[in-house]
Amino acid sequence: MLLRPWKTISSQYLSKSPWISLRAEKCETADGHTIDPYYVVEMPDWVHIIAFDKDEKVITTLQYRHAMREVFWEIPCGEIDEKDPSPMDAAKRELLEETGYQASEWIDLGVMYPNPARQTNKFHNMLALGAKKVAEPNLDVAEEMTHQLSSVEELLVSIKSGKFMHGIHVASLLRALMELGKI
C-alpha cells in the first residue's frame, strides 16, 4: 500500500514565539477528505546527552519540570541554540553548563522525533565517554536542577519500576546502552 501525503490547503499561526509556535492547517487527504483544523507544533531541535564517566556511571539530572509541576529524573539535555555551530557543540555546551562535566570522546547516535504527528522538531542522541568534572554547573535562572552519577543497573531498574519516566530520555538512554552492548 502506498501511503499518500495530505495536501495543505491553508496554514495559519495561532501563536508564535522562539520556544513554541502553534499553527492550524486545513488539509486534504488523498481520498478527498478535509481535515480542518489539524494542529502542528513547532519547537526548537534538542540534544540529549548520554554521558558515562570513567567508572561507567551515567550522569543524570533531577529537574523541576513546570508543565507537570514535578521533579523528573533525566539525562542532560537542551535546546539547540542559534549560536551553537553544530548539534554536537550544543551537546558539549549543555553537558558543561548543566553538570560541569566534559567528555574525552563523543559519538553522534543520530536523531529521533519526539512526535512526528504533531511536532516538527527532532532530538539528537549524543553519547559522551570518559566524562570528567571540570567546573561547577552554570545554570540558567529557569533551571531548578541538580545532577548525580547513576549506575546502568540502577537506571534499568528505575525504567522498569516507573521511577525514570521521561519518555524521550528513556529512548536516548536505551539507544546508548544498545550501542555499548550493555542491553
| Binding residues vs its own copies (CB under 8 A) | 1, 3-6, 14-15, 17, 19-20, 22, 25, 27, 29-31, 33, 35, 37-41, 43, 62-72, 110-120, 123, 141-142, 144-146, 156, 159-160, 162, 165-168, 170-172, 174-175, 178-179, 183
Distance CA 92, CA 175 (A): 19
**104 or 148, CB closer to its own copies?**
148
Q: How far is the CB of 164 from its own copies (least distance, A)?
A: 9
Q: How far is the CB of 57 from its own copies (least distance, A)?
A: 19
The full length of the chain comes to 183
CA separation, residue 106 to residues 18, 33, 180 (Å):
28, 47, 13
The amino acid that residue 51 corresponds to is A
Q: How far is the CB of 95 from its own copies (least distance, A)?
A: 18
**4 or 83, CB closer to its own copies?**
4
Q: How far is the CB of 148 from its own copies (least distance, A)?
A: 10
**36 or 104, CB closer to its own copies?**
36
**16 or 54, CB closer to its own copies?**
16
Distance CA 46, CA 34 (A): 33
Q: Are residues 77 and 47 in contact, defined by beta-carbon separation less than 8 angstroms?
A: yes
**135 or 157, CB closer to its own copies?**
157
- In the DSSP assignment, the letter for residue 135 is S
Cell numbers placing 151? 549506575
Omega cis (within 30) before 37: yes
Q: Are residues 49 and 80 in contact, defined by beta-carbon separation less than 8 angstroms?
A: no
Cell numbers placing 130? 570518559
Q: How far is the CB of 168 from its own copies (least distance, A)?
A: 5
